[in-house]
Amino acid sequence: MPARPRAAPNLEAVRRLWLRWALLVVFVVALGIVFVNLGQWQLRRLAEREGHNAATIRNEQAPVKPYEQVFTHPIVDDDQWQLVRATGTFDAAHQLVVRNRNNGDDRGVEILTPLQTASGTLLVSRGFIATAPGTAPMSTGPAPPNGEVTVIGHVRRSEHGRSGAITPQDGTVRLINSEAIQQSLGYPVADGYIGATEVTPAQTGGLVPIEVPELSSGPHFWYAMQWFMFAGVGLLGIFVFIRSDLRDRRAARAKQAATVSGSAHGSETA
């Protein structure tokens, strides 16, 4: 009895299959590298946020210092939320209304007034006034106390933005940037500003202190886990895809072998 013929391997089909797998691996690995880098970026943001939180807690718990001991250099994030004390007189003629501010869930304005002290001038946000939705923006704020005052408040860094946001106009400004405000005042002020928590003698006008920001880790950890998971799913997908191709190839070869066997059996019986 002659030997049963076998299906000849399709070398071109094998080459196409290997090329398909190679391209898949390159694509998934490249995508996986992007996902892993995004995950690591989220972990770096988490570390930065936790560092800022630790600095905020440390600064809040520190004893109140004379402002001259802190405002000796450009104020940065790690300087924020220290409590300092300053004594002087407010320059009511150069007071500014800071527009579109948030304090917790409230929206309104801050009242920014230069405080002239024996050591120099610094900007003081005297507090926040909530405004009802739909009301006209406040253009002037309550006058500061007359005479010598003592202010205790949080150290804040200058805010940055486009020129139109940091440059005062018609007694209002959008962001508090000491350098830009200094140019409109015509005399030097310290870098950064103070967010008042207490003014003595007491001020009027319904001003309330700005709340300390929420100290949470945010969603960065879970975002990182999601990116790492996407990378893992991509790698797992390679094996699933190749396994599916091999299963389909085995089925096709079995079908081809059955067809060849059937043809050979028919020839033998003829």
For 35, half-sphere exposure in the C-beta direction (CA atoms, 13 angstrom radius) is: 17
Residue 7 pLDDT class (50, 70, 90 cuts):
very low
**What digits encode the pLDDT tens for the residues 86-143?**
999 999 999 999 999 999 889 999 999 999 999 999 999 999 999 888 787 787 889 9
pLDDT surpasses 60 at 9: no
Please, how many CA atoms are within 13 Å of residue 106, restricted to the half-sphere of its CB?
A: 15
pLDDT at residue 261, rounded to an integer: 62
Residues in the chain: 270
pLDDT of 268 higher than 60: no
pLDDT of residue 114: 97
pLDDT at 39 > cutoff 70: yes
How many CA atoms, within 13 angstroms, populate the side-chain half-sphere of residue 86? Answer: 33
Q: Quick check: 158 and 81 in contact, CB under 8 A?
A: no
Going by C-alpha positions, the residue among 213, 104, 204, 89 that lies closest to residue 157 is 213
- At 240 the three-state DSSP class reads helix
Question: Taking the model in full, what pTM does it have?
Answer: 0.68
C-alpha 150, offset from chain centre: 35
**Is-contact 97 139, C-beta < 8 A?**
yes
The rounded distance, in Å, linking the Cα atoms of 254 and 257 is 5
Q: What are the structure tokens assigned to 97, written together?
A: 């209304």
Alpha carbons 47 and 183: distance in angstroms, whole number: 37
Q: How many C-beta atoms lie closer than 10 Å to residue 252's C-beta?
A: 13
Among candidates 195, 115, 122, which has minimal Cα distance to 155?
A: 195
Does 235 score more than 50 pLDDT?
Answer: yes
What lies within 8 Å, CB to CB, of 145 at 6+ separation is: 90, 199, 201, 202, 203
Give the percent of the chain with pLDDT over 70.
89
Closest CA to 124 of 190, 211, 204: 190
